[in-house]
Structures are given as C-alpha cells and as structure tokens.
Structure 1
C-alpha cells in the first residue's frame, strides 16, 4: 500500500469512526509532547503518565496540547504506561457526552477552558488597535508608511488646479 493510500485510510478511520472506550481503555488529556512520539497525559483523576503514538498515526495524524485521546494500557511499561488507540475530536467528544461515557473530571475543566477562551476573546476585541504584540522582523529596515500633512495639502491644491483647468475656469 502506498503512503498516500495508507494516510487516506488512517485519516478516514480517525475522523469517521465514533469509538467507545472498552473497559480496559481510558480517556486522557494530552498535557505536552515529549518528543520521539511520546506525549505526557493526565487522567480525569489527575494521574500523569507518558503514552506512545503507534506507527500508523505517525506523520499522518497530529495531536497537540489539550487534545483528548483514548489509550490502551501497556502492562510492562514503567514510564510509558499506555499507547494511543484513537484521537478524539469535537464530534467524538459530543458523542461520548451524549452516551454518558465522558469522564466527570474532564467536564469541569472543559467548562473552565471555554470561560477562559471567552475572556481571551473579549480581551483581544478590546485591544484590536494595539499593535504592540505584532511580530517585528529585525532583518528588514523600518520605513514609515504614513504621509505627512504637507504632502496631503499639496496634493489637494494640485487637484483644485486640475479641476479648474478641465472646467475651463
């Protein structure tokens, strides 16, 4: 199977299938990426441990901090205690909440995150005119892009002169 075909099937499986965790699987939240396809996660009870990403997801599916995943436990693992079996997106989370399978520990944190996002959005709308947080490229010379008042006055005077000559006055 070619790489493109494999990627297509993996993406279709992840996005299309609504997976319900079995009794030995659990839902965890990704806290950070540790590199080498390892991710630090936290359970709804607050336990943190490392999980590995299987080879079928590598370079095909991306996860980031704050995403939720379903993991299979690895019995012989000391540091890496689980392997990712599926990645949960918004639709998957809503489906699990309707089925009453979503962990209570994550329900409270999700509400807090939504409040924080709303607060950040309000702050961003208040400071839309503030350009102090824009990226500054230090490799380019800074040029002022504004016109001075003298240039504006001379342009208005030129327009008046042109308007009189066209009208014949």
Structure 2
C-alpha cells in the first residue's frame, strides 16, 4: 500500500469512526508530547502518565496539547501505560456527549473545544506555502478606468 493510500484510509477511519469508551478504553486529555511518539495524558481521575501513538497514526495524524483521545491500557507498561486507539475530533466529542459517555472532569464545554478547529484545517495545513489572496485592488482599478 502506498503512503498516500495509507494516509487516505487512516484519515477516513479517524473521521468516520464514532467510537464509544467501552470496556477498558477511556477518554484522556493530551497534556503534551514527550518525544519518540509518546504523549503525556491526564485521565478523568487526574492521574498523569505516558501513552504511545501506534504506527498507523505516525506521520499521518498530529495531536496537540488540549486534544482528547481514546486509549486502551497495555499490561506490560510501567512508564508507558496505554496506547492511543482513536483521536477524538469535534463531531466525535459531540456524539460521545450526546450518549452520556463523556467524563464529568472534561465536561467544561470550553475545554472540550478549546483547541478544536475544523478537522481538515488541523490535519492538512501546509505551513510551508503562503496562502494565496485575491487582490481587491484590481477590481477597483478596472471600475475607475471604465467610468
């Protein structure tokens, strides 16, 4: 599978899957990246620990401080206690809140959407290219020349 095809499938899965925290899966808040695909998180009880990002998400999806993710604990972990299963974006968060599975600790509506923007903007912004802007001056000049 090519990199482009893999990226397409992974992003489609992240956008279209509306998963609930069932079984041993829990919702946590990202506190920051710690390097080497590890992220420090805080669970609803206030406990802080490290989680790993699985290979399929690496170089395909980015998360930042304040984002929410669904994790699954791993048994062999002492320092790294869980692995990210799904990254939660606005629509997934709204869905989880609507079915009453959102943790009370994260219930502040401003906190849940604090750093959230439209998914496409978060994932596909190319900061190496300047935005193209349409110049309104050209249309103003053509009107003044006609009159």
Structure 1 alignment gaps of length 5 or more: 118-169
Task: Summarize deviations over 1:84-131 as a string: whole Å, max 9, x none.
Answer: 0000001100000000000001003x44677x99xxxxxxxxxxxxxx
CA gap 1:81/1:113 in 2 versus in 1, 3 angstroms: closer
Shift of 1:73: 0.3
Aligned length in residues: 115
More helix by share: 1
State the TM-score, normalized to the length of structure 2.
Answer: 0.74
Task: Summarize deviations over 1:62-84 as a string: whole Å, max 9, x none.
Answer: 00000000001011100000000
Corresponding position: 1:11 with 2:11: yes
Q: Hey, what's the Cα distance between the residues in 2 that align with 1:21 and 1:100?
A: 11
Q: Hey, what's the Cα distance between the residues in 1 that align with 2:28 and 2:20?
A: 13
Moved over 4 A (4+): none
Determine the structure 1 residue equivalent to 2:107: 107
Q: Hey, what's the Cα distance between the residues in 1 that align with 2:14 and 2:105?
A: 24
State the TM-score, normalized to the length of structure 1.
Answer: 0.65
Contact kept? 2:18, 2:92, Cα under 8 Å: yes
SS of equivalent to 2:107 = helix
Greater relative contact order (Cα 8 A, min sep 6): structure 1 or 2? Answer: 2
Structure number with larger C-alpha Rg: 1
Determine the structure 1 residue equivalent to 2:142: none
